[in-house]
Amino acid sequence: MPQLHPHLVPIFDEIVRRNPGEPEFHQAAREVIESLAPVVERHPEYADAEILRRLCEPERQIIFRVPWVDDAGRTQVNRGFRVEFNSALGPFKGGLRFHPSVNLGIVKFLGFEQIFKNALTGMPIGGGKGGSDFDPKGKSDAEVMRFCQSFMTELYRHIGEYTDVPAGDIGVGGREIGYLFGQYKRITNRYESGVLTGKGISWGGSLVRTESTGYGAVFFAQEILRTGGDSFDGKRVVVSGAGNVATYAIEKVHQLGGTVVACSDSSGYVVDEAGIDLELLREVKDVRRARIREYAEARAGATYVSDGSIWDVPADVAIPSATQNELDESGAAALVRGGVRIVAEGANMPTTPQAIRVLREAGVIFAPGKAANAGGVATSALEMQQNASRDAWTFEHTEERLHETMRAIHDRCLETAERYGAPGDYVVGANIAGFTRVADAMLALGVI
């Protein structure tokens, strides 16, 4: 592991000591802290005001019981979380994740990442995250609705247009946001559109929000290619996952002239040299809610692999878009053997620190999620703008705003990396650019 600046060692040690059993939070914090050595040298005022120590402690953490009744009439109990991490730049902003793996450490790593991601967008949004260990898989619509209503019955008192604005993440899409918004509206007797983002188009949502994380990650990779005088034209691309981020990443790669030759779900992956047929993928995953094997069964020339790694498929560009730590050291080595040149994270922290080291040593350009997947939350901020002005923009206008934002984040990362002595390093650029924007706001607001 790279060394930490001596001033930062006690801060990291304190995080590990005070947050036991939260390895993902330690990992996310360490990655940011590792990048900050040149900032410590140049900005003693941040250390004097204990900015980093304050930033690593969430402003507020809420844990609550979520009881609900399943279709068989049995009472179920889940746990709900909302970690309101930092509101120096605006109301807490970040998604809700419903997945059995959710615990406090996972929500804290996601909330911590969100602070810097949101800062990088240049928009007025703080960072937070939430969710539950509820598993929507195999649940009926009625069960999901009852769960969401119970979840919101506690959450509503903590959120609001000017306080905290949740959205979706893994396991939370348009259906769940609908049930959550309905219950919020009912309890508060307010049609407060700006309290949640990712809403349906007919009730205050923004066009492009559904597509934005996947599209944004591809726009970011396109900027990297363009910086090297290249484009997606003719490129082989591997996209892990088959959810919202992956689906729209695949769509945008194809629009830009590349070919996505493999994608995956938690059961295995498919290889389709002719290019993933998005209509079929959606039919299998969204309509049938089936395993990805059915894609290969329905498509001539496609193969299904159940016991391998998608990173064995040779590609020019890889976009890990499934979940945290899905791309490990051996996966990275396989990508390098396959000739990969760019890895852009569509998911949050999908690449382990060891894998990042392997990629860096091989000269692969690595774009961290807090920069590459910021298009989702950036479009959420556009949804908030439309809600505040009671307006609704066209698809083309909103997509252009997303595209501009991704270009600006890309340029901000490169320019910051250069200024702090690490030219071409997107990790250093993203961490420092995000950190300094939040740190300056925290300095201005005093010790709060």
- Which are the catalytic amino acids? 129
| Nearer to ligand GLU among residue 148 and residue 302 (C-beta) | 148
Residue 262 CB partners (closer than 8 Å, separation 6+): 238, 239, 269, 270, 271, 272, 276, 310, 313, 315
Count residues near ligand GLU (CB under 6 A): 11
Question: Of 90, 91, 95, 320, which one interacts with ligand GLU (CB under 6 A)?
Answer: 95
| Nearer to ligand GLU among residue 93 and residue 236 (C-beta) | 93
Q: Does 167 bind ligand GLU (CB under 6 A)?
A: yes
Nearest-angstrom CA–CA distance, 370 and 438: 14
| Nearer to ligand GLU among residue 217 and residue 428 (C-beta) | 217
Backbone angles phi, psi at 391, to 5 degrees: -125, 165
CB of 380 to ligand GLU, least distance (A): 3
Question: Of 132, 197, 398, 431, which one interacts with ligand GLU (CB under 6 A)?
Answer: 197
CB of 189 to ligand GLU, least distance (A): 25
**Which of 91, 162, 178, 80 has its CA nearest to residue 128?**
91
Report which secondary-structure segment, H or E, holds 282: helix 278-282
Nearest-angstrom CA–CA distance, 49 and 148: 40
Got the DSSP string for 120-187?
HTTSS--EEEEEES---TT--HHHHHHHHHHHHHHHGGG-BTTTEEEE-BTTB-HHHHHHHHHHHHHH
CB of 222 to ligand GLU, least distance (A): 19
Judging by beta carbons within 10 Å of its beta carbon (0-12, 13-18, 19+), is residue 419 exposed, middle or buried? middle
Interface stretch with ligand GLU, choices 79-87, 88-96, 290-298, 386-394 (CB under 6 A): 88-96
| Nearer to ligand GLU among residue 259 and residue 387 (C-beta) | 387
CB of 180 to ligand GLU, least distance (A): 13
Interface stretch with ligand GLU, choices 6-14, 282-290, 352-360, 372-380 (CB under 6 A): 372-380
| Nearer to ligand GLU among residue 239 and residue 377 (C-beta) | 377
Kindly give the pairing relationship between strand 342-344 and strand 317-320.
parallel
Query: Considering only residues 375-394, where is the footprint of ligand GLU by CB under 6 A?
Result: 376-377, 380
Nearest-angstrom CA–CA distance, 257 and 448: 50
Interface stretch with ligand GLU, choices 50-58, 325-333, 374-382, 397-405 (CB under 6 A): 374-382
| Nearer to ligand GLU among residue 117 and residue 410 (C-beta) | 117
Tell me the residue nearest to ligand GLU as measured from the CB: 95
CB of 241 to ligand GLU, least distance (A): 13
Q: Does 348 bind ligand GLU (CB under 6 A)?
A: yes
- Provide the Cα torsion 60, 370, 322, 327; round to 10°: -110
Strand order through the sheet with 164-167: 60-69, 75-86, 127-132, 92-98, 164-167
* Encoded tokens for 46: 């941040």
DSSP-derived secondary structure letter, 351: B
Question: Of 26, 43, 82, 93, which one interacts with ligand GLU (CB under 6 A)?
Answer: 93
CB of 336 to ligand GLU, least distance (A): 27
| Nearer to ligand GLU among residue 150 and residue 197 (C-beta) | 197
DSSP-derived secondary structure letter, 4: P
Interface stretch with ligand GLU, choices 35-43, 55-63, 90-98, 411-419 (CB under 6 A): 90-98
Binding site for ligand GLU (CB under 6 A): 93-95, 117, 167, 169, 197, 348, 376-377, 380
